[in-house]
Amino acid sequence: DKHLFRALAQFWNPGYSCFTFGKVDLVPTIEQYMALLQCSRIQVDKVYSKAVNLPTFLKRVMNITRMCEQWVTARIKQKGDSKCIHWKNLKDLILAYPDAKKKVDIFTLSIYGLVVFPKALGHVEKAVTDLFDQLNKRVTPIPTILAETFRSLSAYWRAGEGRFIGCAQLLLAWFHNHFCKVDKVSYRNLQEEDIEWRAPWLFSDEILYQCRYFDWVPLLGI
């Protein structure tokens, strides 16, 4: 909903990377997003960072789809400064592929490209395949999702218009879970008593707040 994000962007503070409503500051955390996505630390314990000497986009798409070089080459497109593959091509593979596991892999890649990191509408771009390629190596995508969300909110705030290219569905799920009265909230008149500070869906665990000797955690995007 472009009108909703236009309203939210007015309260985004790019200097502190948080929403500021008068005296109330709100910002999603790694732990909260992990809980919303049911992402266990037992299964993933490494933060994504772009690897060096990565295979080409062509090779990665070939590995994921198990299609030949000619098929993939014919379907790779240039969108802006990035190479992409259209969702329709992946959808056709999902419907036709006999291997159930491979169907799930291609569908998961599509969700990451279309919903989680929707940089090119209707396409899955190269940077998404970089991240997807590491997900089976105990790498968590959560800090990357947060980084792209913050980056997109800041860009939208500075421009005063445009398209939000973070994961809007996840941001809205987090946002509404902090309001006692979800049906109708006046953001401009928001008071501290309108906020539920304890997220009931958040499991009890240690909170990540420090990186070595620094009281902050860097967020690396894609």
Say if residue 209's pLDDT is above 70. no
Integer CA distances (angstroms), 89 to 30, 56, 75, in order: 33, 19, 7
Would residue 214 count as lying in a domain?
Answer: no
Q: So what's the pLDDT on residue 7?
A: 76
- Mean pLDDT to the nearest integer, 84-108: 93
What is residue 125's three-state secondary structure? strand
Alpha-carbon distance of 199 to 176, in angstroms, equals: 11
Q: So what's the pLDDT on residue 196?
A: 64
Residues 122 and 62 in one domain: yes
Residues 57 and 115 in one domain: yes
Domain that holds residue 173: 2-45+140-194
Q: So what's the pLDDT on residue 47?
A: 80
Q: So what's the pLDDT on residue 146?
A: 92
- pLDDT tens, residue by residue, 118-155: 988 899 999 999 999 888 888 889 999 999 999 989 98
Final residue before a domain boundary, out of 133, 153, 174: 133
pTM metric for this prediction: 0.78
Helices (H), the chain: 2-9, 30-36, 57-65, 69-75, 87-96, 100-111, 126-132, 142-159, 168-176
CA neighbor of 194 nearest in space, from 205, 210, 206, 182? 182
Using 50, 70 and 90 to split pLDDT, how confident is the model at 42?
low
Residues 31 and 8 in one domain: yes
Alpha-carbon distance of 11 to 135, in angstroms, equals: 33
Helix (H) or strand (E) holding 4: helix 2-9
Residues 116 and 63 in one domain: yes
Would residue 210 count as lying in a domain?
Answer: no
Using 50, 70 and 90 to split pLDDT, how confident is the model at 93?
very high
Residues 39 and 147 in one domain: yes
Residues 64 and 108 in one domain: yes
Residues 57 and 128 in one domain: yes
- pLDDT tens, residue by residue, 164-203: 788 888 988 888 777 655 455 566 666 777 666 556 666 6
Would residue 151 count as lying in a domain?
Answer: yes
Number of domains forming the structure of the chain: 2
| Residue 102, token pair as written in the block | 């491979």
Yes or no: say if 112 and 132 are a contact pair by the CB < 8 Å rule: yes
Q: Which residues contact 191 (CB under 8 A, 6 or more apart)?
A: 22, 24
**AA identity, residue 67:** M
Would residue 186 count as lying in a domain?
Answer: yes
Using 50, 70 and 90 to split pLDDT, how confident is the model at 207?
low
Final residue before a domain boundary, out of 112, 133, 154: 133
Residues 81 and 40 in one domain: no
Residues 40 and 148 in one domain: yes
